[in-house]
Structure 1
Amino acid sequence: MPSPEPTVSSSNLAEQLVRLTRRMHRAQKHHLEHLDIAFTPAQSRLLRIVGHYRDTPPRMADLAERLEVVPRAVTTLVDALEANGAVRRVPDTANRRVVRIELTDAGRSTLRVLRSARQAAAEDILAPLTAEQREVLGGLLATLVDGPGTHH
């Protein structure tokens, strides 16, 4: 027996996901308005990625790979974050030709604020859902993010 046609088209779901992402960015921006923090979503993502490296700061190539962009794009993002005092370039102790990117104290503080704003934005958006609906949504999103075809 053939499977029934989906009631919601993939293009409709794609549009809803895009709209939800935009709404999340707007909500996060709203929670940051009273602060003097003006990072683009790409800069915020790079800051979060750098923050995930605990022992050894990442190389530019590591960041490009994680962001799935060309190294030049990372250079532009790092330049902006460095100008804001959130990260600094440091030479690798084993190979002085390699440059690593590490968070500054200001960057760690900014990252905490960004995480808090992101959490508050998520709470705003998820407020209409019951705990059970949140569990289901979390499972569905995990399947999509971590499912087949992912590169990470």
Structure 2
Amino acid sequence: MDEETLSEAFWSAARALRHRTRVALEPWDLSPSLARALNVVSRHGAVRLSTLADHLRIAARTATEVADDLTARGLAARHPDPDDRRATLVSLTEAGTETAQAIRRARQAEGEQFFAALTEAEREDLARLLRKLSTAAGD
């Protein structure tokens, strides 16, 4: 398989998984990027906007917009950082925590269905190879 064909196969699988993820998020009316932000705050607890931006690989200004959107939806709250009055922390509300957990379960179920075409050994090989590529790319 030449490199272009391998790349095309990878992107085709990624698009299919991304589509399934969007479908899985429909009950919550959240974009994949908002769901990722919700997941970051769920995993890390209260975070500064700059930390959220770093985890999402977005500009600080965009992280502010993401936090505003999560707050408007009642999924997050913003409050001053007790260690630095100039900084703002974002944390999940109870609804945000419940939503993050429900999304995690839905995405896991979608992933299980998506990867069901592979044997357990193939899944392990794929996971190993993807980790190797991520490490090589510096992620």
Asked if TM exceeds 0.5, the reply is yes
Answer yes or no: is the 8 Å Cα contact 1:51–1:103 preserved in 2: yes
The residue identity in structure 1 corresponding to 2:138 is T
**Partner residue, 2:90:** 101
Q: Which structure shows the higher strand fraction?
A: 2
RMSD: 1.7
Pair 1:71-2:71 in alignment: no
Larger Rg: 1
Report sequence identity in percent. Answer: 32
The residue identity in structure 1 corresponding to 2:55 is R
**Partner residue, 1:30:** 23
Which aligned pairs between 1:118-137 and structure 2 lie closer than 5 A?
118-137=107-126
Answer yes or no: is the 8 Å Cα contact 1:28–1:120 preserved in 2: no
Q: Return the TM-score normalized by structure 2.
A: 0.90
Runs in 1 of length 4+ with deviation above 4 angstroms? none
Which aligned pairs between 1:112-123 and structure 2 lie closer than 5 A?
112-123=101-112
**Partner residue, 1:3:** none
Answer yes or no: is the 8 Å Cα contact 2:25–2:31 preserved in 1: no
Pair 1:150-2:138 in alignment: yes
> Which is worse superposed, 118-127 or 15-24?
15-24
CA apart distance, 1:32: 4.4
2:2 to 5, 8, 13: 8
The 3-state SS of whatever aligns with 2:42 is: helix
1:19 to 12, 29, 35: 12
User: Relative to 1, partners in 2 of residues 1:40 and 1:32: Cα closer, same or farther, differing over 3 Å?
Assistant: closer
The 3-state SS of whatever aligns with 2:137 is: coil
CA apart distance, 1:106: 0.5
The 3-state SS of whatever aligns with 1:143 is: helix
The residue identity in structure 1 corresponding to 2:76 is V
Answer yes or no: is the 8 Å Cα contact 2:76–2:90 preserved in 1: yes
User: Relative to 1, partners in 2 of residues 1:42 and 1:32: Cα closer, same or farther, differing over 3 Å?
Assistant: closer
What is the aligned residue count? Answer: 139
The residue identity in structure 2 corresponding to 1:47 is L
Pair 1:85-2:74 in alignment: yes
